[in-house]
Amino acid sequence: MAETGLTEPPAAAVAAGRAGFRRLLVSLGIATGALSGLYAGIGSVLLPLQIEHIDRAHKVAALGLVAGVAAVFAAVFNPIGGALSDRTRSPFGRRAPWLIGGSLGLIVVLAFFGQAATIPLVLVAWCLAQAVANLYQAPLTAVVPDRVSKQRRGLASSVVGVASVLGGVAGIGIAGRFTGRLAFGYLVLGGVVLLTAVYFVLSTHDEAAASLPRQPRGRRSLAARLGDFFSALGHRDFACVFTSRAAAILGYYLVVGFELYILTNYIRLPHGLRPAEGVTIMAAIGAAGALVAAAVCGPLSDRLDRRKPFVFISSALAGAGCILPVISPTFITAELFAAFAGISFGCYLSVDAALVTLVLPRSEDAARDLGVLNIANAGPQVVAPLLAALIIGHLGGYPVLFVMGGCCGVVGAFAVMPVRAVR
């Protein structure tokens, strides 16, 4: 396998022994799940309901605007948070101050979020929440390349993938219990993130910071600094993974971001089933498929030393699953779609996260470059709500939305194939 330019983490940075590695994975999984639960609970339930209460007649357009603009803040603040944490030195490591500070900041912002009573205030609140959440997310994402050896990253990525799925389901379930008390729901989700961040920092220690050189602080032009900031995109493999992830995430959020409205206005639900309950059921089905796929695919990719075939299959499967609700807009096919999406998403999460860490150019800038890669997550979330609102309102409605999501999955599958440094 060709070298990528990424050196192994220093020996002191790798979790020592099996007990230390297990402890790291458990605490990382808990923290990752809590953050995933916050995003899913707000994005799938609390935010759509809050907008619907404020302006029912224009809810689709309003949700598209709010989600799209807020995603810009996610795209900007994630690499910034990564770069800042890369250069932070503290007795608790370079990531800990941002994890504790970011989770505390989330509580403050979410308290304001719950009281927003107009669409402009909701927009401001979600933008602030995305900014703070991504200052938190960037250092958390960097834990795997910081502290896990290359040979065990498939397993670590599986844990992160499973935790993300379980956390998303839990977050949706928690949010569903506060449909009549939205403000309290925001605080509960934020409180869980804070508690898990404290647990992670207290139960693990980032020894890598002590062995990494301090970055020089010379006077350089803004253009030169920006060039360094986005330098990872100049590496072919990193750029291919960036493109693959952007396409896959765009397809995912075209559909999932409007799932509540899809069940309200397109899918024929069984008598007595409310749309919010349907979202929870679909999330549970997707989680079951994702758990199985993530548990199998991550360790299997370690054993086979293969990453690309798993990413290709998962993206293609996600694209194929989007066709089912177009053929028959019933809740049964929606459940089948959720199963397809869950299996593909679990496989994708568990293997793509490992693939990403293997194409990073420099370990010293891991969080920064992962933050740049996160633009492939956040950028499509800028486009997806606006594009989805346009499709729903003017370009064919929900069937076309599913078709577009499927096409994006296929593009994501083929984009990863030119990667050379990873098999």
Rounded distance between C-alpha atoms, residue 354 and residue 150, angstroms:
8
Label residue 158 exposed, middle or buried (CB < 10 Å: 0-12, 13-18, 19+): buried
- Among 70-74, 265-269, 319-323, 361-365, the minimum mean pLDDT is found in 361-365
pLDDT at 12: 44
Both tokens assigned to 328: 């028959």
Q: How many domains does the chain have?
A: 1
Alpha carbons 121 and 233: distance in angstroms, whole number? 35
Alpha helices for 42-95 (secondary structure H): 47-54, 59-86
Q: How far apart are CA 318 and CA 313, in angstroms?
A: 9
1 in any annotated domain = no
When pLDDT is cut at 50, 70 and 90, the band that residue 14 belongs to is very low
Mean pLDDT throughout 6-29?
66
Q: Is residue 421 situated within a structural domain?
A: no
In a domain, 322, yes or no: yes
Residue 221, domain member (yes or no): no
CA distances (Å), origin 136, targets 9, 234, 307: 22, 26, 27
CATH code, 137: 1.20.1250.20
The larger pLDDT score, comparing residue 206 to residue 110, is at: 110
Is 128 a residue whose pLDDT tops 60?
A: yes
Nearest to 126 by CA among 199, 167, 70: 70
Share in percent of the chain as helix, strand, coil (round to 5): 80, 0, 20
Closest to 6 measured CA to CA, from 408, 398, 357, 405 = 357
Of the two residues 280 and 8, the one the predictor is more confident about is 280
pTM of the model: 0.70
Closest among 114, 254, 126 to 185, alpha carbons compared: 114
Nearest CA among 43, 411, 130, 39 for reference residue 250: 411
- Lowest average pLDDT, out of 49-58, 60-69, 125-134, 377-386, goes to 377-386
3-state secondary structure of 423: coil
pLDDT, one tens digit per residue, over 180-203 is 899 999 999 999 999 999 999 998
The phi and psi torsions of 326 (rounded to 5 degrees) equal -75, -40
Residue 168 resides in a domain: yes
- Are 41 and 189 in contact by the 8 Å Cβ rule? The answer is yes
Residue 143 has a pLDDT of: 85
Please report the pLDDT score of residue 109 as a whole number.
Answer: 96
Q: How far apart are CA 394 and CA 391, in angstroms?
A: 5
CA distance linking residue 266 with residue 278, whole number of Å: 13
| Residue 300 belongs to some domain of the structure | yes
Domain annotation covers residue 216: no
Domain ranges, residue 399: 12-209+232-415
In a domain, 420, yes or no: no
According to the per-residue pLDDT averaged within each range, which of 86-95, 102-111, 136-145 is highest?
102-111
